[in-house]
Amino acid sequence: MAKKAAEAKQQKGSDSAEAPAQEAVQVEGLQFDIPWEQLMDDERFVEVFLSDVLENYVVQQRWYGGKSSTMKYIELQEYFRIQHNEEVYYGLLLEVNFEEAFYQHYFLPIAFVSDESFAERDRILPLAIRGQEGFIIDAVNLEAFRRLVYERILMAEPNDTTRVRYHKSTEFRGTPYESSKFMGLEQSNTSIIINGKSVIKFFRRIYADKNPDYEMSRFLSERKGYKNTPAYQGSLSIMDTDNVNVTIALMQELVPNQGDAWDYMLKELHKIFCNLEYKGIRVDRLPKLELFQRINSRQVPPEIIDWAGLGVFLKLQKLAQRTAEMHIALGSEFEDTAFTPTRFNGDYEVWLKNRLLYMFQNRLNMVENNLGRLEGQALELANEFLERKNEIRKRFVNFDWTKLKGERLRVHGDYHLGQILVQGDDFFLLDFEGEPESTIRDRKVKQPPLKDIAGIFRSFHYAVYATIFDNPGKYPYPQDELFAAGELLYRYFVGVFLDTYVQMIQDHNINIGYSAERIFLLKYCMLEKAVYELGYEMNSRPDWAVIPLEGIRSIIND
C-alpha cells in the first residue's frame, strides 16, 4: 500500500482469516530505500522475498495444494498492481516448481502495513521501507484492500481493456461498500462476503486461462438467466505476458441457505437408518428396484415410503429438476463455441481413454504402495481392486464413440452433494471449477451431461456408506444388513432422480442418447468417478478410501 494510503486507510478487517497466527520469517535488517510502489521492481528484494520468505510461507497455507509433493523453488511468474489512485497493492502470481517435474501457479495479493495490529494474521515479512518499519501481509486480511477490489468492480468500465481488468455484470445493481468479512468456511480458495450480499472468491490456485467457475457462472446466470446458481456480479482478471486472460477473482450473489445438500442428506439418512429399528423394518422383505430403473415418487412402494418418508424423494425430484435445468441452459447455446453442444468423435474417445487409463494406473500404484496401511474391510476391498484390475481396465477401453448418438456439453464437472446449497425446499448449484486434479484444458472439454448425473449418484452412494461408517453401533443391525438396506434405498434415490431428470431433458430436446446408451454412459462415468475418488481419498482422507473401493466393487458387480 502506498505510504499515504497505508496510514490513512489502515482499518482492521472486521474479522481475521481462519489460518492460525504464524510468525513471519525473520530476515535480518531488511531495509529498502525505495517506495512501496517500486519495491517489486527491485531485484534484490524479489530474490530474498521469493527464496528466503515465500518458500516457507506458502507451504503453510491452507490453500497450498502441493503438500504431497516436494517444492524445488518458487519463481515470480507475473506481478501486477491492484490499485486505485494512490492506494497500491501487488498481486503476485507465483510459480511453484516441484522435484517431481511439474509446477503450479498461485495468487498472493500483498500489502505493506506499518501498524503491527494489522499484521496479526498472514504476516509474511517484517521490513523497513524508507525508514518506515512495518510488515508485508496477505492483503485479503485488510479491509481497505477488500473494499478497493469491490469498488473497482462496481465502477468497472463496460469494456475494460487494461492489463488488470475489472468486470461488472450488466445485471448487477451494486450498493456502496459497507462491510466485509471472511466467509470462514473450509475451502481451497479465499472467499470474502461484502455487505452481507456478495461473495468475492479470490482464486488461489491459478490457471493460465479463464477459470471455468467464472465462465460457467457468467454464462449460466448472465447469458441464460439460470436462477439456481448464485448470480454472477463481476470479476477481476489479468492479461498475462502471453496475452491470455487469467481469472483472479469472481464476485457472485450471496445465497442465504441452510447448509449444503451433503449435510442435509446425512441427516436424512441418519433418520432413515434409525427408522429401521423404530419401525421394525425387515430389510429382506423390502421391495427391490433395479439400478437405473426410473420411478416416479408417486410409484415408490408404500413399504419404502413408510420406512424413508416421502419428503426425501420430493427433495430429490426438485434437485433433479434444477440439475436438468442447468443442463438445458448449457445445452441451448448455438453461437458461443465454448458452449455449443457437439457429438462424440474419435478424438474424444482417444482423449478419454488415455486420461482414464493414466488415472487408473496412478490409483493402482497408490493402492499397491499403501496396502500395508490398510486393514479389515478396506484391505479386503483393496486386494479385490488389484485382483480385478484387468476387468476394470477393459471397462475403460470399452468405449466406442460410433455407437453413441447423444451430445456432449460443457458440464459442471465435479458435481456432488457438497456443491449444492439448500434454501428452503430449493437448491442452488455452486463451484463450477471442475475436478481439482484435471488440467484446465481437460476441464473445458465437452462431456456427456450424464457425467454430472454419475457424480451425484456417486454422492448418494457415498452418503449412504458415510452414514453407516460414521454411526457405529447406532443402528442395531449387522453391517451386512445395513449395507443391503442402504444399497436398496440408493436404487430408489437413483430411480426417482433419473425419472424427473430424463423427462425434463427430453422435453427440452437435449439429446443424452437412447436408453441403453444412457445406462452405458452412467456406468462408465460412475466407474471413472469412483476411481477418481479413490485417489482423492488416499491423498486427503485415507480412512474414507473404503467408500470408493466399495463403490468400484458395486459398479463392476452390477
Ligand X SMILES: Nc1ncnc2c1ncn2[C@@H]1O[C@H](COP(=O)(O)OP(=O)(O)O)[C@@H](O)[C@H]1O
Residues in contact with ligand LMANGFYV by the rule CB under 6 A? 188, 262, 414, 416-419, 431, 435-436, 458-459, 462, 533, 536
Beta pairing partners, 82: 89
Beta pairing partners, 506: none
- Binding of residue 252 to ligand X (CB under 6 A): yes
In the complex, which residue's CB is closest to ligand LMANGFYV? 459
Q: Give the x-and-dash track for 175-214 against ligand X (CB under 6 A).
A: --------x-x-xxx-x-------x-x-------------
Residues composing the chain: 558
- Name which of 166, 167, 155, 199 is nearest 180 in CA terms: 199
Which CB, 113 or 531, lies closer to ligand LMANGFYV? 531
Residues 254-273 that bind ligand X (CB under 6 A): 254-255, 257, 260
* Burial class (CB within 10 angstroms; exposed 0-12, middle 13-18, buried 19+) of 421: buried
Say if CB 167 and CB 234 are below 8 A apart: yes
Say if CB 317 and CB 500 are below 8 A apart: yes
Task: Output the CA angle 240-244-246, nearest 5 degrees.
Answer: 70
Task: Output the CA angle 6-203-220, nearest 5 degrees.
Answer: 125
Which CB, 88 or 445, lies closer to ligand LMANGFYV? 445
Which CB, 141 or 217, lies closer to ligand X? 217
And the C-alpha cell for 183? 466467509
Which CB, 104 or 189, lies closer to ligand X? 189
Partner from ligand X, ligand LMANGFYV, none binding residue 185, C-beta < 5-8 Å depending on class: ligand X
Residues 425-484 that bind ligand X (CB under 6 A): 430-431, 433
Which CB, 65 or 126, lies closer to ligand X? 65
Q: Give the x-and-dash track for 214-233 against ligand X (CB under 6 A).
A: ----------------x---
Q: Look up cell 462431456; give the residue.
A: 447
Partner from ligand X, ligand LMANGFYV, none binding residue 98, C-beta < 5-8 Å depending on class: none
Partner from ligand LMANGFYV, ligand X, none binding residue 416, C-beta < 5-8 Å depending on class: ligand LMANGFYV
The minimum distance between CB 458 and ligand LMANGFYV, in angstroms, equals: 5
Say if CB 82 and CB 165 are below 8 A apart: no
- Residue 195 to residues 167, 235, 432, Cα–Cα distance (Å): 19, 17, 24
Q: What is the distance between the terminal CA atoms of the chain, rounded to a whole angstrom?
A: 61
Q: Give the x-and-dash track for 403-422 against ligand X (CB under 6 A).
A: ------------------x-
Which CB, 88 or 430, lies closer to ligand X? 430
- Measured over the CA atoms of residue 81, residue 83, residue 85 and residue 86, the dihedral's sign is negative
CA 123 to chain centroid, in Å, comes to 27
- Measured over the CA atoms of residue 374, residue 375, residue 380 and residue 381, the dihedral's sign is negative
Partner from ligand X, ligand LMANGFYV, none binding residue 414, C-beta < 5-8 Å depending on class: ligand LMANGFYV
Which CB, 301 or 418, lies closer to ligand X? 418
- Measured over the CA atoms of residue 534, residue 537, residue 538 and residue 544, the dihedral's sign is negative
- Name which of 533, 527, 547, 380 is nearest 466 in CA terms: 547
Which CB, 136 or 453, lies closer to ligand LMANGFYV? 453
Residues 28-87 that bind ligand X (CB under 6 A): none
Which CB, 458 or 518, lies closer to ligand LMANGFYV? 458
Partner from ligand X, ligand LMANGFYV, none binding residue 92, C-beta < 5-8 Å depending on class: none
Which CB, 249 or 420, lies closer to ligand LMANGFYV? 420
Size of the site for ligand X (CB under 6 A): 19
Greatest CA separation found in the chain? Answer: 82
Q: How far apart are CA 134 and CA 136, in angstroms?
A: 7
Task: Output the CA angle 375-376-377, nearest 5 degrees.
Answer: 115
The minimum distance between CB 244 and ligand LMANGFYV, in angstroms, equals: 23
The minimum distance between CB 267 and ligand X, in angstroms, equals: 16
Residue numbers at the binding site for ligand X (CB under 6 A): 183, 185, 187-189, 191, 199, 201, 230, 252-255, 257, 260, 421, 430-431, 433
